[in-house]
Structure formats: structure tokens, C-alpha cells
Amino acid sequence: MSRYRATVEYDGTDYHGFQIQVGLPTIQEELERALTRITGQEVRVNGAGRTDTGVHALGQVIAFDVRWRHSPAELQRALNAVLPTAIAVQELAEAAEGFHPRFDAVSRTYRYTVLNQPWRSPLAARFAHHVATPLNVAAMNEAAAVLIGRHDFAAFGQPPQGENTVRQVWRAGWQREGVWCRFDIEADAFLRGMVRSLVGTMLLVGQGLLSVAEFAAVLASGERGRAAPPAPPCGLCLMEVKYGR
């Protein structure tokens, strides 16, 4: 048995997240099904991030153990030949024994994309959240700056395991390019629903419905009910997972 590491890109629109769920289509299930079809072995795939229903990935990292007598490049080609069109393996190589894509990661970067114009775009609807009201990106960047550092993010999500809601955010900020507003955030780890909840609340800042001071107060409160409803999953994408800092 050899351990392999791969970088996977996917359109999560039609999937109920990464992690296997009984009776529901997931990214992990599709990857394991493809590996079993190619190798004839029951293969368990581990992922770096448990992306939620409808969330996408450009740089999801996975690992698995399998007996394979050919090159990693041939395994990558075989996987891409049988995977659904919404999922593609962009890189694949042998990994060190014991490598775990989740527990060995030192940071993850997510991007949230907003289409900020009066009218909706059918072609952008799978990958961006449409906001018709003009957004003050400078104010949203002031709010994003509050997030940098080590904070308790209980107001914006729930821990996947245990009770620890403290996370280290390395960078966070918005950029506007024409009608597109993109929020990038890198942290050591994320709470469940954290990025979408942050975005939903920062959009209130951008619309003048919440001040930066009030946003900071929501963060400091640790009260989940004070944050805005989470932004839709369509705009969220796992961009990169880093190992070693």
C-alpha cells in the first residue's frame, strides 16, 4: 500500500458537501467510487476541509492509501477519466507515510465572490452571490481588518468537534474588480459556517446597515444570534491548503 496526496477541484453545486452522508451525493463518495472502480479496492479518502453543501473547491487536498503498480500520473489520468465532470484531480503524487491532509495543514484559504450589480447574471449564479445594493468595499475592509489575529469566533460558527471556537486569522480582505467583490481569508482552521456568516455580516456593513464598531461588537460578544444569516454557499470556494509555514 502506498499513500497518495492529490489536489482536487470541484463544482459543489449539486453535492451535499465533501464528507460522505448516507443517501446523499458527496464529493468524498464520488472520489472513493472512482478509486474503487479503477483499483478494485475499497479506498477511504481523507480531505483537508469538510466543505458544506453547495460549496466549491479549487485547492481541496485529499489523501488515500492504495495498491497501485503504475505511475502517479497514470492514476491521475485514470481518475479524471471516470470522475463526474464536476470533479477533477489537478495534481497527484505519492505522499509521506502518515500524511493527513486535515491534521497536517497549517492554514486554509477561502474566497467568497459577490456579484454587485442591479441585475442578476444566470451564468454567474452557480459561483457568485448576487447583491443588487451598492457595496462600500472600504467599509467592509475595515470590518475584515478586525478579524486578523487570534479571536473567539463563536458568534460566526460552530466547532466541527469539541468546544474550541478560537481561531487564528492570518489575513482577511475584500477586493473589487468592476462588478465583482471578492473576500479572501486565510486561517489556521475554520468553524462550521464561519466564512459564510462573516460574509453575511460584512455585507450589512457594506450596505450601511451595520457599522464597523457594531461588527466588532458582534465578534466580541461570542453570541451566535447577533451575526447576520450566512451568505449563500454558491459564492464560497476553498482556494488553497498550506502545509509548513
Rounded Cα gap, residues 239 and 241, in angstroms: 7
- CB burial readout 91-128, b (16+ within 10 A) else e: ebeebeeebebbebbebbbbbbbbbbeeeeeeebeebb
Q: Which residues, other chains included, contact 188 with Cβ-Cβ below 8 Å and sequence gap of 6+?
A: 106, 107, 108, 167, 168, 170
Q: Examine the residue annotation and report whether 104 is marked as an active-site residue of this protein.
A: no
145 three-class SS: helix
Catalytic residue among 14, 52, 65, 104: 52
What φ, ψ does residue 133 adopt, rounded to 5°?
Answer: -70, 135
Where in the sequence numbering do the catalytic residues fall? Answer: 52
